[in-house]
Structure formats: structure tokens, C-alpha cells
Structure 1
Amino acid sequence: MKNNYLIFILLGGFMFAFTSCFSNKDKGAIKMKLIQAEKETQVNVKPNLIFYLADDQDVYDYGCYGNEKVNTAAVDRLAKEGMLFNNAFTAQAICAPSRSQLFTGKYPVKNGCFANHTATRPNIKSVTTQMKNLGYDVVLAGKSHVKPESVYQWDKEWEPVPKKDVPRDYIPLDSIEAYFKTSKKPFCMFITSKYPHGKYFDVENPNAEDIKFYPFNQHKKKDKAYVKTKAGYYRSIEEDNKQLESVLKLVDTYLGDNTLFMYSADHGASGKFTVKDIGLKVPFVVRWPLVIKPGTTSNQLIHYTDVLPTFMAIAGGKSPNDMDGNSFLSLLQGKNVEVNKYVYGVRTNQNILNSEVFPSRMIRNKRYKYIRNFNSLEVVKQNLTGNPNIDYFIKRGANAHKDEPLEELYDLLNDSFEQNNLAQNTELKTIKDRLKKDMFSWMKSQGDILDETIGNMPIITPKGNKGFKLDQDTPIRKIPDSIKNILKEGDYTVIKHW
């Protein structure tokens, strides 16, 4: 691509001399044709693809998404220069499962990584294979949190780097700059920040008036500890914004306009581990100067599983039929077409620090969302197995989430923060039944370990019981001594590839 610029510089010099005998009107017409020809040439060259991923940041905490109290100037700039998506989603509000979707084009249960710290199925062709086959270098710069290495074979991978006086490691800016300077072929780079994920900055004397509150956290406005945490979170967002500004400066310095830049955050912090929109709805902004009209928005449903199919389409390829995602290239090109009728969500509360048996699934269209909490107190008796060791943890999981019913239904047009559960509204029964039927059909196609049968409540563990066991303490959850180590290997449903 850089050689194309040299050709046009030389051609421009020639044309300047050649057109000296023409009128100003003719010169202008020739100049416009040259500019158009250069743009067409750039478009025909495979673009560089950059995806910047922040860590644990609510979609509601950006200036471009309506929060005037947080500093996200770099993201706001991208929105002004590109396209902002109002309905972008991940299927799981937790790090590893969210990232696995980006890299495979498949939902968590299908790709295998549906509990945190676990592995993708070993037979999957991820972004590294798919994009290499289309002529791209594939690079990871920053936080990984995916495995196994056999599935994710990056051409280059740089770890986050320590930095003084900040709570988290920084993205490897020096390595990114050196790569931009010397790249010889189109590349697909994921720049994965460790911000604003806690540990947060320590902000002294925080003021609640400097924080924007929403229906889901309004009751904590006078909670001093919460306000302090939130102030530190805002400061960490600002720090990540500085990193993004540095990356954009490098992009503008070393790369041409034929560079697609996507920004997102892997899931919301306020809704982590849930299937509510505060966890699954993500910021999503795309800049591509030669293609996207600046300052545009899209309300179409898109999903993290759509990113790899989109990259493949841009690179001139076609995603395989077993991928769940769909290309949204047409949206970037200005066509307002439906990409997804539904998006789906998965919740697996095992293998996290607060491990409990409380799985959920979600289906959502633009207006309505249906959630099923498979181990709610309403059905926990039917879920019991007769094995007292297993049943202890099934009951414990239900009681840990005693305020969450078996079914939830929300009208997101009139209740965007999901405060009013309409699952028992008889006027919406047809809508609920349709969503429920389509969700169970999707679960079956995914090979889910759950189904519509009440009384099917498997407890899961990685191979060799490596992970956060239900019958052992974690740093934030204590198990009575009499209950420790009571589960046997045969009590678990073992996910072998983990």
C-alpha cells in the first residue's frame, strides 16, 4: 500500500507539469479524478484490520453513549469519524468466553469456552488460521486469556508491559509502533488492554456528583465505598483513553486511510456474570475512512461472533457454515440491513471466584428479551439429584441468587434497564412462548448441556478438576470445613477439552 502512495506522488508530479497548459477548470477535474483513482486503488488493496478491546467497561460509561461525566475523548473521536453501534453484544459477561467469540465466530458453548479460564475446543480454526489463509498476519498485542496455543497461533504476540504509578500493565506501544513502521503485508491486529478492569486507581475525596448514576445503581449514590470505587473506575477509564489516543496517533502516523479500526470493551463491569444488558451490551465503534461515512450510527443487532465473518468478508473470503456469526460489512458500507434477528446470552457461574450452580440463558431481539434461570428457587427441588453432596451445592446456588426467578421477560423499548419483569404478563404470553421456543432450539443447535427439562442440573469442572472447585474456598467465598472436598470426580460433568 505504501508503494501505491509513492506511485501517486510521482504521477502527481508528472500531472502537475502536464496540466500546466490546461485551464483551472480542467486542472480541477483532472485532480479530482486522480484523487478518486487513488482511493479506488487503496480500496482494492486489502485493508489493515485493527481491533482495540478494553476490559470490563459499561457501555453506559462513554461520552458518545451519553455519559458526559467520564473522559472518553479518544472513543468519542472515533465515533465522530466513523460509525457507532447502539445494539452490539457479547454472549457472556466474562473475559475468556467473551474473547473466544471474537476469535472463533462461534458462541461460547459451541466453541467450548463457556466458563472463565477454560479452553476453546482443540479442533476449531480460529482467527489466526482463517485470516492467515486470506493473506494476513495475525497479531495479539496485550492481554490474551484464551487457550490452547494450538488454536491461537499468532504470527506475533506481545504481552502487556509494566508501567510505574498505575494499577495495571500497559499495552505494548513500542512493539506496536515498530510493527506499524515495518509491516510488509496486510495485518489483523487485536490490541487488548487490561484497563479499566480493577484494580482501579485510588481517588482521594471522590464526589458522587462527578459520577453518573442509572436505575440499576441509583440506590448506591450515598454509599461512600461504592462512590470511591466508581471514581477509581472512571480514572482507569481515563487511563485507557490515553492508551487509545497513543494508538490512534501511531495509526495516523504510519498507516494510510485504508485501515479499519474497531473499538469495543469485552463486557460491562456492572453486569458481570449476568445476562442483563448491563453485562452483555457492549460499546462498538468502527472507523474506516474510505468506506464509512463519518458520524453515522447503526441500530442493527450485531454480535461478537460477527466480527470474524466480517473480517473474512473484507479480506475477500467467506466464513464457513459452522460459524454462528454473520458479516456486517454491508452496514459499514452504508446499507441498513438486518444482520441478526436474535442475539443470545450465556451465564455460567462456575469456575469463577464466587462459584455457584446458577446457569442462565438469554434470547433477545431489538425489543424483547427472555431469560431463563435454570436453578432458580422455583425449581430447585426438581433439580435435586438424590446425591446429598451434589444437592448441597445445587441448593446453595439457588439460595445465592434467591431474587432471580425462573423466567424473565423485558420490553426493552420501554424498560431499557430491565427493571420490570413481564414474564407473568398474559398479554405478552405469545411473545414469551416464541422467544422461549427459539431459545431452546438455538441451545440444541449449540450442543448445550442444558435443555428445557426441569431437573437437569449438571455441575461442571475442567479436566482433572483444575479450576475453582465448588467444595473448596476461593479468595472471596468460604465453604464450611465439613463440606470441603466432598465431591468426587464422578459427581461432575467433565468438559474434557478444558
Structure 2
Amino acid sequence: MKVFSKISIFILLAILFLSCNTSTSQKKKAGDKKPNLIFYLADDQDVYDYGCYGNEKVSTSAVDRLAKEGMLFNNAFTAQAICAPSRSQLFTGNYPLKNGCFANHTATRPDIKSVTTQMKNLGYEVVLAGKSHVKPTSVYQWDREWEPVPKKDVPRDYIPLDSIEGYFKATKKPFCMFITSKYPHGKYFDVENPNADDIKFYPFNEHKKKDKAYVKSKAGYYRSIEEDNTQIEKVLEMVDTYLDDNTLFIYSADHGVSGKFTVKDIGLKVPFVARWPKVIKPGTTSNQLIHYTDVLPTFMNIAGGKSTDGMDGKSFLPILQGEDVEVNQYVYGVRTNQNILNSEVFPSRMVRNQRYKYIRNFNSIEVVEQNLTGKPNVDYFIQRGAQAFKNEPFEELYDLENDPFEQQNLANNSELKAVKERLVKDLFVWMNEQGDILNEELGNMPIITPKGKKGFKLDQDTPRRQIPDSIKNTLTKDDYIVIQHW
């Protein structure tokens, strides 16, 4: 019996030893696992329309929760306030001019290596769940892609929640997932008897408080934001149920709807909130300038790689880890009004640092005569574009510290001459590096057209603008720069 007892004790100790070793081994293995990366992207939502960004009249509890549990960025930007160009930056790490998608409904250059290639090479599965709006398929080779799901009694399709949940339950490999919502993009909910007092107004829209149609649209927009909030809550519940703390969750919106098609901050500044338990200190903020082109380099850095030569973006991983370091001295913006329903020739470029912002409107009414070509059919559209935005000057300069809503143009302020000259110089260096179709010289006003029969051609009607019969179909391929349409 004594011998049996000794043997039993020995076996028990051995089991405990092996159990401890196994547990330690499993923890080590879990600790060595690469983080899961989730990027939730809303569609057409102003940075000013979140509780965590100061709007107490809108329901964004899920994003507000993320801000409490993670880090809120006060100076995050996209370069273009329009869907396809904004998303192409996230997925390529390059600004729209360099990656090729600088007009809506156009394609990324076919030789670009996107997030699907870059992250697969680092051992990740790359997934798109929801709205795509990027092409070509050869550049964006998702391991899995799920379309938005129709849903009754709501104005927009839902993200594919069932597919996302099934994936979270079953996945074994580290993954990089973009969850791309169709909300709050219009068509909005129809809100009956809306009250202007339930809307928060800002310097850029306070003159519309008594505009009943605007208030009704804004109320529907707020309701659509609330609907997206329910989707985010469901996703976060899944993340907390099925995934471990080694998961970085980023929330953003592709651009602001109030500044869509512009290079103002109401279009280019985006909400950006990141949660990563045990890495990001809860309830923190960052005022550093970050950009959508920085997202892919950051993901590659987290995965153990580094950004490739020629990539515009830089990793902001050190900021997530608690270091207050500069990532970008400047961020840039692009405006292309062609290939949209209200197509006009009015391109703009923007450069911005922490305090000052410079905009050049290349086809302003001030300089339109110098942009004319001598070809009546081409000059009609150049003049038409300038007239469509006749209140926008050739140059704009804003002191964002004192004028965050860009209400006072200081371009002719002699005291800021040196500031403006420095920004102008940097802007044109950047444009040259990007291979821009514009340059500093006046008289260079290229017009673009999508390749093939798709897209919105300048010399044809669209549902929102009419072209005189005498000028319809008069532009030839020699009058255009042809861009790749999808």
C-alpha cells in the first residue's frame, strides 16, 4: 500500500508538472500569435457627429465606448472626400494620385500591391466584409469577401454579420478584416416632424437652421448614424466573445459628408478611434497628424514587416504603444469634381500641418482666362467649371488653431507671407513626386474622361446637370486625359 501511495503521488506530481508546462506552453504560444486586425469603416459621416468628438445630440455609444477603452485621434485625415479614392489609400498606403484612383468610380493602377498582397505575405488572411468600391479585382485579391446583406425596413443594406460571426468562431490564422458599412450614407431614414433643436449646428451649416428640407435630411442622417451604431455594437460583442485581447480594433469613416468633394477639413478630417487591450492605454488621445495612407504601413509593422519602397504612408505603431511622436509634418488633399453626377472642371490641392492649411483652386474664376486652350469645345467646360465655383478663390490660407472651421481666408495676409510660401513650396514638391496631372504653371488645365463607355463624360448629360445640344459629344480623345474606369 505504501508503495502504491508513493506511485500515486509520483503520478499526480508528474501530471501537475506536465499540466503546468502545457499551460505555460499554451500561454507562450498565444503570446507569440500575431494580432488580429479589424478596421470598421463607416460611410459619409462627419467627424463632428460623434459623442466622443463633442456632439451630444447624436447616438454613437459604440464608438464612444471604443474611445473610453482605447485611443481617440484628433487629427486623422483622408486625402480625398469621396468614396473610392479614400478607400484606395487605406488599401494601398499611397495617395490617390500615385495609386491612380483620384476620381470616383475609377480603378487603382494594376501594378500596385495592395493590402491583400502585403498582408498575405506576412502570414495573414485578408477579408472584406461589406461595401467594396475599389477595383480592379487583380489588385484586390481578398481571401474572403462578403457582400452587404439586404434588410427590411431600413434604407441601406447591412454588413454581413452572420458571416463575420462564423469567421470569428472558426478562424485559426491571424487575420486582417475590413468591415465596411453602407451607413450612414444616404438614402437616409425618413424622420417625421424633425426638430432643429435636436441637431447640432456648426459655423459651416448654422445658416440652415430654418431650412426645413435640410433639417429633415439631417434628422434622417442622425437616425442612420444610430442604425450603424447598432451594427458596431453587434460586431464588438462578437469580438469580445470570440477573440482574445490580442486584437486591434480601429473605427473610422471614409470622409465627411458636409465637405464631400472638397478639400476642407469638414470633408478630409476623419474620426479615428483605436482599441487594443494591453497595448493602448484606455481613455487616451493623440493630436499627431496621421493619414489613411499610414494604415497599411502600420498593419505591416504590427505583423512584423515594414512598408515597401515608394509607399507614401508611415507606421504610427509607436503612437498606439504610447509614444507621442510625429508621424507626418504635413498631410495633403486632392479634389477632383469630374466623373461624378455634378461633374465640373475645378481641381484643387491642399497641404496642411498642425496649424496652417493652404489650398489652391487651379481653375478659379480669377485665373480661368489663363487656363483657356483656344479650342471652343474644351474652353466651354473650363469656363463652366470656374463659374460653378465662382465664390472659391485661387488661394486659401487658414489658421486652424484660431479658425478650425476655415471661415477666414488669410491668403492675402502679409504677416503670413512666409508661412504661405513655405506651404506652397512643399505642396508642389509633393505634387511632382506624386506624378500629378497639374503643376504650378497656369494654362495647364487637363480634363479627364473614364476609359470606355462607363462613367460620366463632360460633354454628356447626367441626372443632375444638362449640357447644351450644341456642345454635346464634341470632345474627342485628344481633348482628354484618359483614366481607368472600372
Quickly name the TM-score band, shorter chain normalised: over 0.9
Structure 2 match to 1:355: 343
1:69 to 41, 52, 57: 57
- Which runs of structure 2 are paired with 1:146-157 in the superposition (5 Å)? 146-157=134-145
Structure 1 match to 2:325: 337
1:142 to 126, 130, 155: 130
- Displacement of 1:40 in angstroms is 7.2
Structure 2 match to 1:446: 434
2:90 to 75, 99, 102: 102
- Displacement of 1:350 in angstroms is 0.2
Structure 1 match to 2:163: 175
Do structure 1's residue 267 and structure 2's residue 255 form an aligned pair?
Answer: yes
1:223 to 199, 206, 211: 211
Q: Percent identity?
A: 82
Q: Distance in 1 between matches of 2:26 and 2:213?
A: 56
Do structure 1's residue 59 and structure 2's residue 8 form an aligned pair?
Answer: no
What is the SS of the residue equivalent to 2:452?
A: helix
Structure 1 match to 2:10: none
Q: Point out the more displaced range, 311-320 or 38-47.
A: 38-47
* TM-score (ref. length: structure 2): 0.94
AA paired with 2:194? P
Q: Distance in 1 between matches of 2:154 and 2:366?
A: 46
Structure 1 match to 2:5: none
AA paired with 2:387? N
1:247 to 235, 250, 253: 235
Q: Distance in 2 between matches of 1:273 and 1:497?
A: 18
2:385 to 389, 397, 417: 397
Q: Distance in 1 between matches of 2:178 and 2:16?
A: 40
AA paired with 1:197? H
- Which runs of structure 2 are paired with 1:292-311 in the superposition (5 Å)? 292-311=280-299
2:454 to 453, 456, 466: 466
- After superposition, the Cα gap between the structure-2 partners of 1:385 and 1:422, relative to the gap in structure 1 and judged at 3 Å, is same
- Which runs of structure 2 are paired with 1:180-259 in the superposition (5 Å)? 180-259=168-247
Are 2:450 and 2:456, in contact at CA under 8 Å, matched by a contact in 1?
A: no
- Displacement of 1:481 in angstroms is 2.0
Structure 1 match to 2:273: 285
Are 1:257 and 1:288, in contact at CA under 8 Å, matched by a contact in 2?
A: yes
Are 1:39 and 1:290, in contact at CA under 8 Å, matched by a contact in 2?
A: no
Are 1:121 and 1:497, in contact at CA under 8 Å, matched by a contact in 2?
A: no
Are 2:451 and 2:482, in contact at CA under 8 Å, matched by a contact in 1?
A: yes
- Which runs of structure 2 are paired with 1:411-426 in the superposition (5 Å)? 411-426=399-414
- Displacement of 1:39 in angstroms is 7.8
Are 2:106 and 2:484, in contact at CA under 8 Å, matched by a contact in 1?
A: no
- After superposition, the Cα gap between the structure-2 partners of 1:328 and 1:221, relative to the gap in structure 1 and judged at 3 Å, is same
Q: Distance in 1 between matches of 2:485 and 2:54?
A: 42
Cα distance per residue 1:457-495 (max 9 Å; x no partner):
000012225310111111111112222111112111112
Cα distance per residue 1:201-230 (max 9 Å; x no partner):
000000000000000000000000000000
Q: Distance in 2 between matches of 1:242 and 1:461?
A: 40
What is the SS of the residue equivalent to 1:344?
A: strand
Q: Distance in 1 between matches of 2:466 and 2:40?
A: 37
Q: Distance in 1 between matches of 2:59 and 2:321?
A: 29
Cα distance per residue 1:51-89 (max 9 Å; x no partner):
000000000000000000000000000000000000000
Q: Distance in 2 between matches of 1:274 and 1:216?
A: 13
AA paired with 2:126? V
Q: Distance in 1 between matches of 2:350 and 2:275?
A: 30
Structure 2 match to 1:316: 304
Alpha carbon RMSD of aligned pairs, Å? 1.7
- After superposition, the Cα gap between the structure-2 partners of 1:388 and 1:462, relative to the gap in structure 1 and judged at 3 Å, is same
What is the SS of the residue equivalent to 2:189?
A: coil
- After superposition, the Cα gap between the structure-2 partners of 1:393 and 1:39, relative to the gap in structure 1 and judged at 3 Å, is farther
Q: Aligned residue pairs: how many? A: 470
Q: Distance in 1 between matches of 2:331 and 2:477?
A: 35
Structure 1 match to 2:482: 494
AA paired with 2:71? M
Do structure 1's residue 388 and structure 2's residue 409 form an aligned pair?
Answer: no
- After superposition, the Cα gap between the structure-2 partners of 1:39 and 1:368, relative to the gap in structure 1 and judged at 3 Å, is farther
Do structure 1's residue 50 and structure 2's residue 50 form an aligned pair?
Answer: no
AA paired with 1:246? K
Do structure 1's residue 121 and structure 2's residue 109 form an aligned pair?
Answer: yes
Structure 1 match to 2:264: 276
AA paired with 1:111? N
What is the SS of the residue equivalent to 1:477?
A: coil
- Displacement of 1:38 in angstroms is 8.5
Unpaired segments of 5 or more residues in structure 1?
1-10, 19-33
Q: Distance in 1 between matches of 2:377 and 2:16?
A: 83
Structure 2 match to 1:428: 416
Are 2:148 and 2:157, in contact at CA under 8 Å, matched by a contact in 1?
A: yes
AA paired with 2:361? N
What is the SS of the residue equivalent to 1:195?
A: strand
Q: Distance in 2 between matches of 1:289 and 1:74?
A: 16
AA paired with 1:44? D
Unpaired segments of 5 or more residues in structure 2?
1-12
Q: Distance in 2 between matches of 1:342 and 1:51?
A: 24
Are 2:76 and 2:270, in contact at CA under 8 Å, matched by a contact in 1?
A: yes
* TM-score (ref. length: structure 1): 0.92
Cα distance per residue 1:338-396 (max 9 Å; x no partner):
00000000000000110000000000000000000000001000000000000000000
Structure 2 match to 1:325: 313
Do structure 1's residue 90 and structure 2's residue 78 form an aligned pair?
Answer: yes
Q: Point out the more displaced range, 488-497 or 344-353.
A: 488-497
Structure 2 match to 1:406: 394
Q: Distance in 2 between matches of 1:297 and 1:40?
A: 31
What is the SS of the residue equivalent to 1:286?
A: strand
